[in-house]
Amino acid sequence: MAMAAYSNQAQAMMRDYLLADPLVPYTSVLIGVFLCKMAYDLTRILSSFYFKGYSSLTKIQRVEWNNRGMSSAHAIFIAAVSVYLVASTDLFSDRLNGPITFRSSIISTSALGVSVGYFITDLAMIFWLFPSLGGMEYVLHHTLSLVAIAYTMLSGEGQFYTYMILISETTTPEINMRWFLDTAGLKKSSAYLINGILIFVVWLVARIFLFLYVFYHIYLHYSQIMKMHAFGYYLTLTVPSVLFVMNAMWFMKILKGVMKTLSKWS
C-alpha cells in the first residue's frame, strides 16, 4: 500500500509539475544535460572495457573520445525524432489548417529541450578546453544552433524548420567514427575508406540538398514566416543561410579528403 501511494504521488508530481506545459522546456533541458552526462560516462566505461588502446590515449584524447560518444548519442536521438515528426506525423503537414510556423506539441518541445541541454553541455566543454575540442567555427556553429533551438523551444515558432535543420545531425556519427578510426590507428583500413565515402554521401544529402529544400520551403511559405515575431523571422532566414555556408565549406574539405583517399587506394 505504501509503495502504491508513493508511486501515485510520483506520477502526480510528474504530471502536475515536470510535464506541465510551462515547465516542459526547462525540465527537458535538465534531462538533456543529465543524458549527456550519462552518455559521456557510458562511453568512457564501455571504451575502457572493449577498446584496449583507450588507456594509452592522452587525457585530452580520452576527453574528446568520450565527448564524441556523447555527441553521437545526441545526433542519433535528435535525427530520429526529427525524421519522425517531419515525415511520420501530421504536425507539420500542409494538409492541416493554420500556419506551419506556429505548430508545436509537448513531444516536439521536449525533444528540442533535450537538444538545448546537449548544446549547453557541449559548448561548455568546448569553452573549458578551448581549443582542444574545436575552434571558433565550432563555437559559432553551436552558438547559432543553441540560440535558434532555444528560441523555437520557448516560443513554439518555426519548429518545422528547426527540425528540418536538425536532420542534418545524421552526419555527426559518421564524422565521429572517422575520428575514432583515425585515433585507433585504423586510418589505412577499409572501414576508414567506407566511412569516408559514407560521410560524403550523407553530407551531400543532409547538409546540402536538404538545406536547398529548406530554402525552397521558406520561399513557398514566406507569407507565414512574416507573421512570426521579428527575432524568429530573422532567425529563420539567417541561421540556415549561415549554416549552409559552413556546410558548403566543410563539404569541399570532405570532397578533397575523399579524392585523396581514393587516389591512394587506387
Residue 145 structural domain: 25-263
Does the bond joining 240 to the residue before it have cis omega, within 30 degrees of 0?
Answer: no
> What are the two backbone dihedrals, phi and then psi, of residue 25, each rounded to the nearest 5 degrees?
-60, -45
Read out DSSP for 155-192? H--SHHHHHHHHGGGGGHHHHHHHHHHHHTT-TTSHHH
Task: Say which residue the cell 506525423 belongs to.
Answer: 89
Backbone angles phi, psi at 129, to 5 degrees: -110, 20
Between CA 110 and CA 20 the distance in angstroms is: 11
Q: Is residue 3 part of a domain?
A: no
**The three cell numbers locating residue 152:** 523555437
Whether residue 66 is contained in a domain is answered as: yes
DSSP 113: H
Number of structural domains found in the chain: 1
- Of 147, 196, 153, the C-alpha closest to 171 is 196
The three grid cell numbers given for residue 80, joined into one nine-digit string = 530520429
Whether 208 is in a domain gets the answer yes
pLDDT per residue of the chain (266 residues) written in tens, 0 to 9: 555 554 555 455 444 444 446 788 899 999 999 999 999 999 999 999 999 999 999 999 999 999 999 999 999 999 999 999 999 999 999 888 889 999 999 999 999 999 999 999 999 999 999 999 999 989 998 999 999 999 999 999 999 999 999 999 999 999 999 999 999 999 888 999 899 899 999 999 999 999 999 999 999 999 999 999 999 999 999 999 999 999 999 999 998 887 887 777 66
* CA 39/CA 67 separation, integer angstroms: 9
User: Amino acid identity, residue 244?
Assistant: F
